[in-house]
Structure 1
Amino acid sequence: MATAIDKLSVSTIRGLSVDQVNAAQSGHPGAPLGLAPAAHAVWRKMKFNPQDPHWINRDRFILSNGHACALLYSLLVLYGYDLKIDDLKQFRQLNSKTPGHPERLDTPGVEVTSGPLGQGISNAVGIAIAQKQFAATYNKPDFPISDAKIFCFLGDGCLMEGISSETSSLAGHLQLDNLIALWDDNRISIDGDTACAFTENVPLRYKAYGWKVLEVHDADTNIDAVSDAIDEARKITGAPVLIRLVTTIGFGSKAAGTGGVHGAPLKPDDLKQLKKSWGFDEESNFFIPDEVANYFAEKVEENKKIQAKWNELFKAYKEKYPKEGAEVQRRLDGKLPDGWKDHLPKFTSKDKALATRKLSEGVLDALCPIIPELIGGSADLTGSNLTRAQGATDFQPPSTGLGDYAGRYIRYGVREHGMGAIMNGIDAFGANYRNYGGTFLNFVSYAAGAVRLSALSHQGVIWIATHDSIGLGEDGPTHQPIETLAHFRALPNMSVWRPADGNEVSAAYVSAIEGVDHPTIIALTRQNLPQLEHSSLDEALKGAYTIWPVEKPDIILVSSGSEVSISIDASKELEKQGVKASVVSVPDFFTFDKQPIDYRLKILPDGVPILSVEVMSTFGWSKYSHEQFGLNRFGASGKAGDLYKFFGFTADGVAKKAEQVIKYYKGKTVTSPLHNAFEEL
């Protein structure tokens, strides 16, 4: 039963939340006022240790309606995370630990970066998948080393965004009974009453997805009802749970129940009457009663004891199951298996031509048995992306007969955006998961919102993006990416690999698997490519290198992926005419830009005109070339070979472009495009 201290705790959470927004004169007070009782009910039942926020078996809390972050920050302060009242006073200020939406790198205790609506609930699905997979892999009888629950608050806006439909549908199929979502049904969005745009029956929709649905109709005040619903949800097996919380946005304020309290600070007189209604001094700010502080401190001590018991359990686990225990410990330490790179395929120019998507499959076949934390799937394109390693087991509920929860291959269905956000969630779980998702390169654009959050959050997820150009052929311009690489290359903290052959594919995987602080897209061909004479895994790991060297070149051709071999053939054609052309492969701009300027100028030196060759948008290539040969229009439907000829991407076509560039720059002073005022300083 809720006690006086519970009610006082709720008032304290509400007070801290509205004071943050008032101090900043910016933010969203409405949702925290309505959700405070539910937040209190959830958090007092969660297991976590603020002094060890990365404990692998903690319960997780995800705030999908991230605009309500003042609520989350209030809880983090009260529970003793590394966040203080002074941080709350800096809400939404430059370089504070309390940004305008939760960011996992800024604030201890924030599990995922949320704010773009629908992403948080989708991340929660990913965390739930990771927890299920981890538990099924390592739990033993009497040793439940992983049994955490994932709690997520979401709002009407999250439910309107299509991504939440994608991921909630998959969560229902996967029977993720470790996931409990709480819907803040306050019937208000930025445009006002949701009756203007959102009148569907959400509980029926979620029941159709395969979720269990519980309802609390007086969640503004009834802590006991919310608490009972959580207890009931915990007992449900075989399905995720949605708890509908009927709340009043801005509960207790003069603007309660209106759109005006959604995203604007409360007026001074409203703040005063609210504090008076809680029994607080009207002039108080950021007030925490001593009995409330003590109450939360006691909860933390209880949780510390829970973790201490888990530590003893894990110690005993490692003694009884030394092999599994050592593997879990290695993963918790963030280390990959010793010698894993020794298993990577290596190639010579005598090896047969293969599509880089096929070469990628070979890498997965080699590494999946060696790296147990390497998991992934495809958005319904397994046979095209070639993302399922030999002998893989699907991640599926055992009851379906399609696989089991220890499986490492995820059938995402046609849900690219959802897949991206789920991948972010799997990464956020921890345990060193290196996870990938496959689709056509063109359709990574469907997932742009999730990809952007991966980069912003420094999450090392991997996109296997096949059918990377007009080389996919007959599917035509709807499927042929033109601007996609330029878009994602422009994204900060984003690695975009476009390998030219087998050695470069292996290099791309080394970079991606070791790149825990940034996402990676590996763009791969449908058409076969030759294994190149001077290609090198080690050199490719520098992002760019001279793959076809000549002495004192008249021109340098810089290229990526399938156009590297065409550029080499063009160099051979030019040689017949007495023209020297060296070729530089640039598989990854992001990695190349990190190299010392001396190395970069060695690859792209002064005194030689440089022509880029890539069968996509030329946007971005001016960083590395004086002239650009690309495709600044949409593609066409036809056979790949015919398309390359039609657009001039042949050895002869590239050679003619090179001759034009040489002629234009003859007699002119040519400096490397790498030079710029900021670099020189």
Structure 2
Amino acid sequence: MPEYKRTAPQTPVVRDGSERQTSLPTQEREIIDYSLRTIRCLIADLCEQHKGGHPGGAMGMAAIGIALWKYCMNYSPSDPQYFNRDRFVLSNGQLKSYHSTRPDSTCPGHPEIEIDGVEVTTGPLGQGVANAVGLAMATKHLGSVYNKPGFPLVNNMTWCMIGDACLQEGVALEAIQLAGHWQLNNLVIIYDNNQITCDGSVDICNTEDVNAKMRACGWDVLQVEDGCYDVESIVSALNHARSSKEKPTFINVKTIIGIGSKVAGDAKAHGTAFGTEDVANIKIKFGLNPEESFIVSDKVYNFFREAVGRGKTLEVKWRYLLDAYSQEYPDLHREFTLRVKGKMTGDWSEIIPPKEHFPTTPTASRKSAGLCCNPLASKLQNLMVGTADLTTSVNMAWEGKIDFQRPGLQTECGINGDYTGRYIHWGVREHAMAAISNGLAAFNKGTILPITSSFFMFYIYAAPAVRMGALQGLQQIHIATHDSIGTGEDGPTHQPIALPALYRAMPNILYIRPCDSEETAGAFFAAFRATSTPTIISLSRQNLEQYPKYSSRDGVQRGAYTFLEESQADVTLIGVGAEMVFAVRTRDTLREHFNIKARVVSFPCQRLFEQQSIEYKRQVLQYQSGIPRVVIEAYAVNGWERYAEAGFSMSTFGHSLPGAAAYKYFGFNEQIISPEVAKLVGEVRKHGIESLRGEFRDLNPIHHL
């Protein structure tokens, strides 16, 4: 078994690959030992100060930290955004050690992307593993597109620290499988193997052979037996990983949680401060003064300070390299520079087709999305588009695409590619698809715009990662097709009812549900302009009526707009997405059979509407008109109470019927909707609009258990 077990100190290798010395001199070993003791006591002090935090894991990982930040990582303290820096992800993010009561603290409860030096926000375990895979993918892709012989513009490593719990999360395994399949040899996972989680020892729920699992997923596996003190062996393992030619590397580092404390090796060391007495004992054990707190000597600062000069040297060398590259490859240099600045490689607004280029016959909005996205993807190098095994259903594959794939792979089906590719086959891994895309987007904001795609219902699998993207302000576009009971025969398992309420409520998400091709174009305009916000574009499987006379891409970007106006209207009908057809038909039926005038509002995005002025919102919804507003949408009605007095909606799961039959089964038919709206209008005429205040009405008379 080729595990990386060291019996003698190995040669520590510095970042440029040259040997620094045959072994660490005694003096340097002494400062490493002193730094370890200082760092561990500092962690204990920090957590004790705030009477909380996660001291145990941080103390156990201190030697790994020294190996990385002192000896192995390429980074520049003077410029944390240096483009070709190594990326570091703390997936076991709660092990950051402590929290502060200050809202502007640079050490919040978990690592947060807004802080210099933090690449991604972590905390929900396993997410960081997938983020790291995305960061490593970005390097592979950019390097394959722009690197030339003698010009390694993008060749950084991604280092990801994990704990026992990260390996238990499904999203981590999904991402690990993909990294092994793609042979991301620039990715290293460092496993803080202390065999402890919150409830106790890991073996109460997990007894697998982790190393064997990682090998089976296509990873090299190294092992360090003494991860608490043997910095030299950790450095050697890390440098060995950097030199890997074909596979990502998993380094299994055995540590002791809470080392030095009276609860060392126990779950009690995980998530609480040690207490005053034990903190004093820790300092005595490590040879420091128990009466002093927060002591970091100049000796320790100086030990790490040389990283500043080394980082500046890296920056200067890279700038010289980039200047020389501009002379040899001026066109590529111009494109690369745009992407480093986070800018698109072309004018996306001129690529989205104009209204007159869209079909006027009924068209599924998933096809409309393809009409918008495919030319964007073919012309903009920033876009990386992928699907969770649904290429033929989501219409995101453009002519001439190249797949992101490990070079040389010859698949049975003949679908191959290389690292230059921008079309990603995620497999049936919706959670990892979204979480890895967070890493792609975080590599350097704007350099890569990830676009994912799947059935809308399966974005419930992806929801934790979509939320993390929103929390971090990472621009992504999620193409969510088959978005209603109109999906039909796939049945209630595939028919989303409550999921829109989740995404409409989720902060910093644009959930946009267009009614036709023109509105779909508007959704892409809004998504491209939302440079610090993820967007979900919710799309139909079934054909939708097209409304070129009324639909407006500009209106979509304002969240809601007047679709069909009517002077002296008796009711406002709010049509949404695929159900717009029922609003329009109900309007006609109300006029013909009930002598009721209805105006129609299209309302594709609540969050965009909330960003508009109060004057605009009053103009569209006519709050003070004295007429009722009725929303028509085949989803749970939650959230529409802010905008309407009544709704024709869903209160149960869907049913296994063809799409048109499913709509009829649940009452979505103008012959059923119109009489209910007429009753409501009659009540308002008799008693006034105030009679409805606080009584949001469910107008759908058809309820199936």
Same fold by TM-score, threshold 0.5 exceeded? yes
Structure 2 equivalent of residue 190 of structure 1: 198
Kindly indicate whether the alpha-carbon contact (under 8 Å) linking 2:224 and 2:254 is maintained by their aligned counterparts in 1: yes
1:286-365 counterparts in 2 under 5 A? 286-347=294-355, 351-365=360-374
1:509 matched to 2:536? The reply is no
In the alignment, residue 426 of structure 1 is paired with which amino acid? L
Kindly indicate whether the alpha-carbon contact (under 8 Å) linking 1:624 and 1:673 is maintained by their aligned counterparts in 2: no
Classify the secondary structure of the residue corresponding to 2:61.
helix
In the alignment, residue 195 of structure 2 is paired with which amino acid? R
1:398-477 counterparts in 2 under 5 A? 398-401=407-410, 402-430=416-444, 431-477=446-492
Structure 1 equivalent of residue 51 of structure 2: 25
Supply the distance in 2 between the matched residues of 1:332 and 1:182 (Cα, whole angstroms). 28
1:563 matched to 2:579? The reply is yes
Classify the secondary structure of the residue corresponding to 1:398.
coil
Classify the secondary structure of the residue corresponding to 1:399.
coil
Q: 1:400 Cα deviation (Å)? A: 0.5
Supply the distance in 2 between the matched residues of 1:61 and 1:613 (Cα, whole angstroms). 48
Structure 1 range deviating more: 345-354 or 582-591: 345-354
In the alignment, residue 629 of structure 1 is paired with which amino acid? F
In the alignment, residue 613 of structure 2 is paired with which amino acid? P
Kindly indicate whether the alpha-carbon contact (under 8 Å) linking 1:47 and 1:58 is maintained by their aligned counterparts in 2: yes
In the alignment, residue 26 of structure 1 is paired with which amino acid? G
Q: 1:10 Cα deviation (Å)? A: 2.2
Structure 2 equivalent of residue 535 of structure 1: 551
Q: Deviations over 1:641-672 (max 9, x none)?
A: 11111111122223223212212222444379
In the alignment, residue 396 of structure 2 is paired with which amino acid? T
Structure 2 equivalent of residue 603 of structure 1: 620
Structure 1 equivalent of residue 663 of structure 2: 644
Gaps of 5+ in 1: 71-87, 676-681
Percent identity over the alignment? 39
1:130 matched to 2:138? The reply is yes
Structure 1 equivalent of residue 637 of structure 2: 618
Supply the distance in 2 between the matched residues of 1:204 and 1:654 (Cα, whole angstroms). 60
In the alignment, residue 267 of structure 2 is paired with which amino acid? G
Structure 1 equivalent of residue 698 of structure 2: none
Q: 1:311 Cα deviation (Å)? A: 1.0
In the alignment, residue 246 of structure 1 is paired with which amino acid? K
Supply the distance in 1 between the matched residues of 2:143 and 2:293 (Cα, whole angstroms). 44
In the alignment, residue 621 of structure 1 is paired with which amino acid? W
Supply the distance in 2 between the matched residues of 1:210 and 1:248 (Cα, whole angstroms). 28
Supply the distance in 1 between the matched residues of 2:347 and 2:206 (Cα, whole angstroms). 54
Structure 1 equivalent of residue 377 of structure 2: 368
Q: Deviations over 1:98-136 (max 9, x none)?
A: 11111112x221111111110011110111111111111
Kindly indicate whether the alpha-carbon contact (under 8 Å) linking 2:174 and 2:432 is maintained by their aligned counterparts in 1: yes
Supply the distance in 1 between the matched residues of 2:649 and 2:563 (Cα, whole angstroms). 20
In the alignment, residue 472 of structure 1 is paired with which amino acid? T
Supply the distance in 2 between the matched residues of 1:572 and 1:17 (Cα, whole angstroms). 70
Kindly indicate whether the alpha-carbon contact (under 8 Å) linking 2:90 and 2:128 is maintained by their aligned counterparts in 1: yes
**Aligned residue among 13, 25, 42 for 2:68:** 42
1:588 matched to 2:588? The reply is no
Structure 2 equivalent of residue 53 of structure 1: 80
Go from structure 1 to structure 2 and tell me whether the alpha carbon gap of 1:671 and 1:95 turns closer, same or farther (over 3 Å shift). farther
1:163-202 counterparts in 2 under 5 A? 163-202=171-210
Structure 2 equivalent of residue 118 of structure 1: 126
Go from structure 1 to structure 2 and tell me whether the alpha carbon gap of 1:254 and 1:345 turns closer, same or farther (over 3 Å shift). same
Q: Deviations over 1:12-33 (max 9, x none)?
A: 3223322221111011111011
Supply the distance in 1 between the matched residues of 2:311 and 2:346 (Cα, whole angstroms). 35
Structure 2 equivalent of residue 679 of structure 1: none
Count of matched residue pairs: 656
Kindly indicate whether the alpha-carbon contact (under 8 Å) linking 2:346 and 2:379 is maintained by their aligned counterparts in 1: no
Supply the distance in 1 between the matched residues of 2:205 and 2:485 (Cα, whole angstroms). 40
Structure 1 range deviating more: 17-26 or 201-210: 17-26
Structure 2 equivalent of residue 77 of structure 1: none
Supply the distance in 2 between the matched residues of 1:564 and 1:370 (Cα, whole angstroms). 32
Structure 2 equivalent of residue 73 of structure 1: none
Q: 1:473 Cα deviation (Å)? A: 0.5
**Aligned residue among 495, 514, 521 for 2:510:** 495
Supply the distance in 2 between the matched residues of 1:350 and 1:128 (Cα, whole angstroms). 40
Kindly indicate whether the alpha-carbon contact (under 8 Å) linking 1:466 and 1:525 is maintained by their aligned counterparts in 2: yes
Supply the distance in 2 between the matched residues of 1:310 and 1:120 (Cα, whole angstroms). 28
Q: 1:556 Cα deviation (Å)? A: 0.5
TM-score, normalised via structure 2 length: 0.91
Structure 1 range deviating more: 443-452 or 382-391: 382-391
In the alignment, residue 654 of structure 1 is paired with which amino acid? I
Structure 2 equivalent of residue 576 of structure 1: 592
Supply the distance in 2 between the matched residues of 1:653 and 1:318 (Cα, whole angstroms). 67
Q: 1:231 Cα deviation (Å)? A: 1.0
Kindly indicate whether the alpha-carbon contact (under 8 Å) linking 2:515 and 2:544 is maintained by their aligned counterparts in 1: yes
1:13 matched to 2:39? The reply is yes
Q: Deviations over 1:47-101 (max 9, x none)?
A: 112232222211011000011113xxxxxxxxxxxxxxxxx8x735444221111
Q: 1:269 Cα deviation (Å)? A: 2.3
